[in-house]
Structure 1
Amino acid sequence: MAQLPAIVIEGPKGVGKTAAALQRASTVHRLDDPAQREVAQADVARLIADAPPVLIDEWQFVPESWDQVRRAVDAQPTQPGRFLLTGSAWPDGVSTHSGAARIVTVRMRPMALIERDLTAPTVSLAELLTGARPAVAGSTDFALEDYVTAILGSGFPGLRGYSDRALRAQLDSYLSRIIDRDFRELGHTVRNPAALRRWMTAYAAASSTTMSYEKIRDAATGGDADKPAKSTTIPYRDVLERLWVVEPVETWIPSRNQIKRLASPPKHQMADPALAARLLGVTAEQLLQGADAGPSVPRDGTLLGALFESLVTLSVRVNAQAAEAKVKHLRTHAGDHEVDLIVERGDGRVIGIEVKLGRSAPRNAGDHLHWLEDQIGDELLDKVIITTGPEAYRRQDGIAVIPAALLGP
C-alpha cells in the first residue's frame, strides 16, 4: 500500500479479507449490505469520492465499482494507498485483465500451520529458494495426532475458537451456504442441491490426486448408469473455483529443460482440508486408524495421507506467496515419476517437494527428486521431503527432511 494505488484481496469467504482491510481503511463501503449496495448502484461514483484508503467490500455485488477504481487510478496513477477491494467470488462478465497495471491482486488463503500459533518454524522456504542448499535444523514435539487436529480444525480464522460439535456445525453451515446461497448469488440455479453436495464430496475424496473429472462424476453417482450430463457438472467446478473453495494445483511445465511425457491434469485440493474432511464425515479416530470415508476413489496411500498433503500444500502455498513463488506439481503420463509439489521462482528454477506421512524419510522416498535433478540439473534449487517427524536435517544425499510444523516463509 505504500506504493500501489489499488489492491484487490481475493479468497474464499471467512479467510479474513475484510478484517485485514478494515485495519487499513478510512472509508468503508460494504456492498453485501443491500442498503449500501442500492446506493452504490444508483451512483457508483460515490464509492471513490471519500477519504482514502477506501475499502470496497465484496465489490463483485456492484461490478461497475471495478471500472470506477480503474479509471480513478488512471487519472492519478502515482498516488498510492487509495483503494482496497475485497471479493469472495469473481462475477461473470468482468475480465481479470481490465485492471492490469492498475489493480494488483493479493490472494488470501486459510491460515497455514505457522499462522495458527501451534509451532515455531525453523526452516525458511525463501532461504531454500536461494539455491544455496542451507543446513536445516530444528525439532518439534508436534505429533501425528496434532496434524490430524490441524486438518480437522480448519485454517479459517473465525473458526479457531471452536472444537468438536460446534466446529462441525460451523463447517456444515459454511458448506450449506455455498450450495444454498453462493451459487445463486453468482447467477447459477442449483436444481438438485443433493447432487451438488455429492459432487463436492467426491471432489473431497479425490484430494491430492489427479483423478479425472469424469471419474469424480462417476464417484459422485456411485457408478449409476443415469449420470448427470457434463453440462451439469462442469459448472459445479467452475463456480467453486470462482468462489475459491477449490484450488487445484496446476501442472508444472519446465521453461527450459524439456521433460518428455509430462501429464497435464491438475491435482485436486480444496481451499481448506477441514472442508474436505467435513464433506467426507471423517473423524480423528478414523483417520488415525487408516480408515477411508466417502466415495471410493483410487489413491496411493490412505485418506489421512491425502489430507496431510492438502494441509502441507496450503502451508507451502502461503509460504511461497510470501517469497513471490508459485506452487505446482509434476507427473509423467505413465505415472512412473511424480513430485508432489514444485515451488517455482520467477526465473523458472524450482524446489522439488515430496510429502510423506511418516516420522522418517526412507531412502527410496527421494527417488523421484533425484530423477528430477537428473532431468533438469542446476535448475533444481533444492530437494525436500516433508514429514510428520520430530527433526529437521539434511541427508547425505542432499535432501532436506523437514517436519511440516517447522517450515516457514
Structure 2
Amino acid sequence: MVESRPAPIGYRRRTVDDDLDALMPGLAAISIEGPKAVGKTATALTRAATVYQLDDIGQRQIIEADPNRLTQGALPILVDEWQKWPPSWDVIRRAVDANPSPGRFLLTGSASPTGVDTHSGAGRIVPIRMRPMSLAERGFTASVSLAKLLTGSRPDISGSTPATLNDYVIEILAGGFPGMRGLTDRQLRTALDGYLDRVVDRDFPEQGMTLRRPDSLRSWMRAYAAATATTASFETIRDAATPGVGNKPSLTTTLPWRDILTRLWILDPVRAWLPSDNKLKELASSDKHHLVDPALAARLLQATPRKLLGGEQPELAVPRDGTFLGALFESLVALNLRVYAQAAEADVRHLRTQRGEREIDFIVIGPDGGVVAVEVKLSATVSTGDTKHLRWLKERIGDQLLDSVLVTTGTEAYRRQDGIAVVPAALLGP
C-alpha cells in the first residue's frame, strides 16, 4: 500500500478527468478501463490517497492473504490493475454494498479476465472508458466544441490552425499513448513494436490463449490494420491475413483471437447506427474496423511519412475507396470523436446503406437522441459533392439532425451557406 502518493510529474489533464470530476462526488466506485499505456494509472493517481498495485507480486500476495486490506486506508482508494487478482473486484463490490458513500474507490484495468467468476458489479462499480490522447489532449487548441454542436443551437464556427497534412501524418504515426510522446522516430518505432509484441507474447497467454503460431496472430492484426475504416467482412480479413493459403483457418480458430483483441481494447470497431424509427431503411449492420490508435495500424503495416504522403498502399491490401492515409486520418478523427463524445454523454456510430449508395463516416448520438453527422475528407478544400450524403440525411431525418460537419485537413473553420460546418481536425474539441 502507498498512501498520499503525489500525482505523476508532468501530468497532462485528460478529457476523462472531466468525467471523474462529475461522477466521483456521487458514485462509490469507478473502474477506468482501456488498453495498456493510455494513462489510466496516471489519471487515477492524481486523485487517489491510498494505492494498491496488484501488478506488484509482493503487494498482491499480501492482499491475497488478507483481502479486506483493499478497503482500508485514506479515501479514495485505488486498486491498480485489478484483473491481476480478479477476486479484488468482488471485494470492492461487497464493500460498496456495505457502504455506498461516494468517492471511495477507483479501479484500473487493461482487460477483463476470462474464465473467472466475478459479479458484473452493475450498480456498484461504474465503468469509464479511457482511450489514447485526442488532438486536444496533445496540445492542439480547439475552437469548435462537439458538445455545443450536439445542442442543436447551430453555434458559430470559426478558428484557424497552423496544422497541415504533414502535421496530421506526424500525429497519426506518433499516436496518443502518453509514454510514447516526444520520442525520436527510432525510439517510437521500437516502442510501438514492443507494445504489439507484448500483446502477442504476454497479453494473449494471460487471457488463457496459448498460441502455437504467434506469427499467425500477427498476420491477423496486420489484416485488421489494413481494414481500417472499412466494413470488410470476416472472409475478406481472413483472406488478407492468409494470402496464398488454400486451407484457411476456421471460425473456431480465429474468432477467439478477435474476441481477445477486443477484450484487450486493441480492436475498437465503430458500430453501425440502426435507428428504431422508419425514416431510414435498408441500413447495413456491419461494424467499421478501427484499432484503438491509428499509430498501431500504421506500425503494423510499416507506414512511413514518405509512403503515406506518396499515396502508397500497404502490401497487405483490403479493398477500399481512397488511400490508406485517408483511412488512418479517418481513424484519427474516430479517436477524437469518441473521446469528445464520451464527455458529452454521447455515442459514436457510422451509417451505411446495404448497397453502399449512402455512407456517412460518423453519427454522433446525443443524450436526447438527436444526432450530429460527421464526414471526414483528406483535403483542405470542400466541394458541393462532398456534402451530398449529409444533405441526404437532413432530408430523411429532418430536425433529428442537430448539425452536420465536414472534418478536413484545412486551416480555417467556417459554416457554409448550406449550414454545414467545415472544421479542420485540429480545431474540433470536446
Please give the TM-score of this superposition, normalised by the length of structure 1. Answer: 0.97
Q: 2:196 aligns with which of 167, 175, 181?
A: 175
Deviation by residue 1:305-332 (Cα, 9 ceiling, x = unmatched): 0000000000111111111101010111
Distance 1:188 1:253, change over 3 A: same
Residue of structure 2 in register with 1:110 after alignment:
132
Distance 1:100 1:403, change over 3 A: same
Q: How far is the alpha carbon of 1:120 from its aligned partner?
A: 1.0
Distance 1:244 1:96, change over 3 A: farther
- Asked if the contact 1:340/1:353 (under 8 Å) is kept, the reply is yes
Residue of structure 1 in register with 2:63 after alignment:
40
Query: Which structure 2 residues correspond to residues 158-307 of structure 1 after superposition, within 5 A?
Result: 158-307=179-328
Deviation by residue 1:335-365 (Cα, 9 ceiling, x = unmatched): 0011100000122211000000000111111
Deviation by residue 1:110-162 (Cα, 9 ceiling, x = unmatched): 00011111x21111111000011112011111000000000001100000020
Unaligned runs of 5+ in 2: 1-23
Alignment pair present for 1:346 and 2:378: no
Residue of structure 2 in register with 1:68 after alignment:
91
Measured in 1, the distance between the counterparts of 2:92 and 2:278 equals: 41
- Asked if the contact 1:15/1:109 (under 8 Å) is kept, the reply is yes
Alignment pair present for 1:13 and 2:36: yes
Three-state SS of the structure 1 residue aligned to 2:137 is helix
Q: 1:142 aligns with which of 158, 163, 168?
A: 163
Three-state SS of the structure 1 residue aligned to 2:283 is coil
Deviation by residue 1:176-211 (Cα, 9 ceiling, x = unmatched): 000000001111111111000000001000000000
Measured in 1, the distance between the counterparts of 2:27 and 2:109 equals: 18
- Asked if the contact 2:308/2:325 (under 8 Å) is kept, the reply is yes
Query: Which structure 2 residues correspond to residues 255-404 of structure 1 after superposition, within 5 A?
Result: 255-404=276-425
Measured in 2, the distance between the counterparts of 1:131 and 1:253 equals: 21
Letter in 2 for 1:135: D
- Using the TM superposition, name which of 177-186 and 58-67 deviates more: 58-67
Measured in 2, the distance between the counterparts of 1:94 and 1:52 equals: 28
Q: How far is the alpha carbon of 1:93 from its aligned partner?
A: 4.4
Q: How far is the alpha carbon of 1:379 from its aligned partner?
A: 0.7
Letter in 1 for 2:56: D
Q: How far is the alpha carbon of 1:258 from its aligned partner?
A: 3.9
Alignment pair present for 1:89 and 2:111: yes
- Using the TM superposition, name which of 270-279 and 87-96 deviates more: 87-96
Measured in 1, the distance between the counterparts of 2:332 and 2:76 equals: 34
Measured in 1, the distance between the counterparts of 2:315 and 2:214 equals: 18
Deviation by residue 1:347-395 (Cα, 9 ceiling, x = unmatched): 2211000000000111111111111111111111111100001111111
Letter in 2 for 1:31: L
Letter in 2 for 1:9: I
Deviation by residue 1:40-81 (Cα, 9 ceiling, x = unmatched): 22332221122221111111111111111111111112x111
Please give the TM-score of this superposition, normalised by the length of structure 2. Answer: 0.92
Measured in 2, the distance between the counterparts of 1:93 and 1:327 equals: 30
Measured in 2, the distance between the counterparts of 1:7 and 1:278 equals: 33
- Asked if the contact 2:172/2:294 (under 8 Å) is kept, the reply is yes
Q: How far is the alpha carbon of 1:96 from its aligned partner?
A: 8.9
- Asked if the contact 2:87/2:118 (under 8 Å) is kept, the reply is no
Q: 1:56 aligns with which of 75, 79, 84?
A: 79
- Asked if the contact 1:201/1:294 (under 8 Å) is kept, the reply is no
Letter in 1 for 2:255: I
- Using the TM superposition, name which of 383-392 and 217-226 deviates more: 217-226
How well do the aligned residues superpose, as a CA RMSD in angstroms?
1.3
Measured in 2, the distance between the counterparts of 1:26 and 1:192 equals: 44
Measured in 1, the distance between the counterparts of 2:282 and 2:149 equals: 28
Three-state SS of the structure 1 residue aligned to 2:354 is coil
Q: How far is the alpha carbon of 1:95 from its aligned partner?
A: 7.9
Letter in 1 for 2:78: L
- Asked if the contact 1:255/1:348 (under 8 Å) is kept, the reply is no
Q: How far is the alpha carbon of 1:281 from its aligned partner?
A: 0.3
Q: How far is the alpha carbon of 1:235 from its aligned partner?
A: 1.1
Q: How far is the alpha carbon of 1:233 from its aligned partner?
A: 1.1
Letter in 2 for 1:81: G
Three-state SS of the structure 2 residue aligned to 1:106 is strand
Measured in 2, the distance between the counterparts of 1:336 and 1:42 equals: 61
Unaligned runs of 5+ in 1: none
Alignment pair present for 1:157 and 2:178: yes
- Asked if the contact 1:10/1:108 (under 8 Å) is kept, the reply is yes
- Using the TM superposition, name which of 302-311 and 49-58 deviates more: 49-58
Deviation by residue 1:194-249 (Cα, 9 ceiling, x = unmatched): 00000000100000000012210110001421211211111111001101111000
